[in-house]
Structure 1
């Protein structure tokens, strides 16, 4: 019994220090006497106590929040930009031996890349071409982190903080643009209406009876409302025909007066 107790204790300590269990999304980089053996996992892993050392690495996609960065754009506008970077470890051994802390290194690289890319474009491009800027930042980060065994999958600009005076200027610009579009639409409508009226006038000139039909249609529309006053339009041609008669009567009235004066 005195011999078995130390053996049992030794076996228990060996199992506690030697057995490791890794999840499906984890890998263990094994160092044996300071040298990398390989990456093991998932499942049950047995290590040699004192000789082996294991570093866990997660293969899940990680979300890295890039804090606000002060950026001066190419058109000399001072803004603050933040973003989020999604990446994952695809080679656990490189992520451990090629860089000391891949999370910190990726964060610093993302901040400097965000400032350099946004500082090389104008403010209008940042606001209107976010997808292009996101892809450019993602390609730069992926190129620099590839030797570390890291794959950058997505980069998204979250928020762009503009100065107050710039916000007011952009609001005035947007208002002026809306007024310009309203005026253009109104002018286009008037032009189309004038074109249709010209076509209608041409048709009526070829068919004068259409004008009388239009008069009758107008009277019918006005009589539909009981409160409306009925107005009967007189053709201008009729007034022109009466002008010679009125001129003759005026001449007859003036002739006797002139003879009496003589």
Structure 2
């Protein structure tokens, strides 16, 4: 009897080892695609899965989102500018069976197709579109990659261009262009401001000319502003009705002085006669000059 127990114990131990080796623990975010004698059994899990040794072959598939970084690609844009562009693709397996049956390695296939699509999409755009309208390019990339990945059982969620590197010479040219554009806008804004200010001054002058009282109020307001400032200027305000007659009298006085000066010059006595201008006495009655 003891001789029979030893083989039984050994057999039980072997069966236990085989049973333990045949068990697979599948996590909640995983699926196990099982093939028995080469034929598909289907995705199994999550939980505890029993596989027959030497008969079943399994492929473990992760259903979580995978972040794939596309290496920098040398791209020539539509306007013949060389740029280095890289991107990021986020995807996850939606159908475990297709991801195993339709493609050998769905991650590598998605990466390679994303690289070629990135070069194609960026090559159709110019540099300004690549820099200023990146969202449109991201949308084109997403549609192309997502459509191609569906037969592989892969669902693409995000495709984004990360970095765009352009030559240093092009960067300097773009900086000069941006600076010139800012200067142009500043000049345009300054010209519009001067135009509006001149229009306002013209309207204000028209209003003050139509209402003399407004001019006096403006005069008083100017005096108040001068008095409010901390300066050493001394201002003697005079009423407008006093300044007006004084200015008129000064104008008349200056005009009268100018008229008096002109009359004095006209009535000035003539200078003494030059003796040389008179006829010499000997010209007519000289003894040698008269008729005999």
Please state which band the TM-score falls in when normalised by the shorter chain: over 0.9
With normalisation by structure 2, the TM-score equals 0.84
The alignment status of 1:144 with 2:148, answered yes or no, reads: yes
Structure 2 gaps of 5+ residues are 271-292
1:222–1:230 contact (8 Å) kept in structure 2: no
Match of 1:259 among 248, 267, 272: 267
Match of 1:187 among 187, 191, 198: 191
Q: Secondary structure at the match of 2:6?
A: coil
Larger radius of gyration: 2
Q: Secondary structure at the match of 2:64?
A: coil
Moved more, 239-248 or 229-238: 229-238
Deviation digits for residues 216-254 of structure 1 (CA, Å, limit 9, x no counterpart): 221221122343324569989775674344223321233
The alignment status of 1:158 with 2:166, answered yes or no, reads: no
Q: How many equivalent residue pairs?
A: 262
In structure 1, how many angstroms separate the alpha carbons of the residues matched to 2:149 and 2:12? 48
Moved more, 193-202 or 120-129: 193-202
Shift of 1:41: 0.8
Hey, which bits of structure 1, 4+ residues long, moved more than 6 A? 232-238
In structure 1, the residue matched to 2:233 is 229
- State how 1:96-245 maps to structure 2 within 5 Å: 96-230=100-234, 239=247, 242-245=250-253
Shift of 1:15: 1.4
Deviation digits for residues 20-58 of structure 1 (CA, Å, limit 9, x no counterpart): 001110000010111111101111111111111110000
In structure 1, the residue matched to 2:12 is 8
Match of 1:249 among 228, 232, 257: 257
Q: Secondary structure at the match of 2:103?
A: coil
Deviation digits for residues 43-97 of structure 1 (CA, Å, limit 9, x no counterpart): 1111111111110000000000100100000000000000110000000000001
In structure 1, how many angstroms separate the alpha carbons of the residues matched to 2:249 and 2:116? 90
In structure 2, the residue matched to 1:35 is 39
Over the aligned positions, Cα root-mean-square deviation in angstroms equals 2.0
* Distance change (3 Å), C-alpha of 1:218 and 1:140: same
* Distance change (3 Å), C-alpha of 1:41 and 1:240: farther
In structure 2, how many angstroms separate the alpha carbons of the residues matched to 1:242 and 1:231? 21
Moved more, 225-234 or 166-175: 225-234
In structure 2, how many angstroms separate the alpha carbons of the residues matched to 1:226 and 1:173? 46
In structure 1, how many angstroms separate the alpha carbons of the residues matched to 2:193 and 2:60? 70
Structure 1 gaps of 5+ residues are none
With normalisation by structure 1, the TM-score equals 0.93
In structure 1, how many angstroms separate the alpha carbons of the residues matched to 2:236 and 2:133? 63
In structure 1, how many angstroms separate the alpha carbons of the residues matched to 2:248 and 2:15? 128
